[in-house]
């Protein structure tokens, strides 16, 4: 009985993954969408996107324990706010990975953030449910 249940579960997961792949294949080929404070549609997942605004240095996040080619390091996630808007709506941008140096604390890390107006292009993704209230993040490529 357990093996039948597990087989059905695997079939369901496979169908779910095929659906996500089909969704990705369609959306990645669509033209880029311009993000603004009204862009909250989950249908934007996997779309190419463009956002304009300013980096919020004080809100930069370092995600620890990320390994790249067998080297430990951090993903650098920086908030970007829509230019001229005080809406409290942000785009989280994965600006890449940096190796862990001799300093062991993320509190001591600092990655330069360009000042002024920026134009960000990338692919939208959906953060995990551990980040409530976040609609999407741009993953630059």
pLDDT tens digit string along 26-63? 887 888 888 765 566 667 788 888 888 888 887 788 88
C-alpha 103/C-alpha 100 separation (Å) is: 7
Does pLDDT of 129 surpass 60? Answer: no
Three-state DSSP class for residue 54: strand
Three-state DSSP class for residue 103: coil
Does pLDDT of 136 surpass 60? Answer: no
Question: How far from 133 is each of 40, 78, 126, CA to CA, in Å?
Answer: 10, 16, 11
Question: How far from 121 is each of 64, 131, 141, CA to CA, in Å?
Answer: 24, 22, 8
Residue 41 pLDDT = 65
Three-state DSSP class for residue 139: strand
What's the pLDDT band for 128 if we cut at 50, 70, 90?
A: low
C-alpha 132/C-alpha 136 separation (Å) is: 11
Residue 140 pLDDT = 41
Q: What is the pTM of this model?
A: 0.64
C-alpha 113/C-alpha 99 separation (Å) is: 17
Please report, in angstroms and rounded to a whole number, the separation of the first and last CA atoms in the chain: 46
Residue 141 pLDDT = 37
Residue 87 pLDDT = 59
Share of the chain above pLDDT 70, in %: 73
């Amino acid at each position: 009985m357990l093996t039948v249940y597990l087989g059905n579960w695997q079939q369901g997961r496979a169908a779910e993954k095929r659906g996500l792949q089909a969704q990705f294949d369609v959306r990645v080929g669509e033209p880029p969408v311009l993000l603004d404070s009204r862009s909250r549609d989950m249908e934007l997942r996997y779309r190419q996107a463009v956002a304009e605004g300013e980096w919020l240095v004080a809100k930069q996040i370092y995600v620890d324990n990320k390994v790249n080619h067998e080297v430990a390091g951090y993903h650098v996630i920086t908030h970007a706010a829509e230019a001229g808007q005080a809406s409290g709506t942000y785009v989280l941008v994965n600006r890449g990975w940096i190796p862990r140096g001799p300093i062991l604390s993320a509190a001591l890390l600092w990655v330069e953030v360009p000042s002024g107006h920026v134009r960000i292009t990338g692919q939208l993704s959906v953060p995990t449910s551990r980040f409530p209230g976040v609609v999407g993040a741009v993953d630059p490529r």
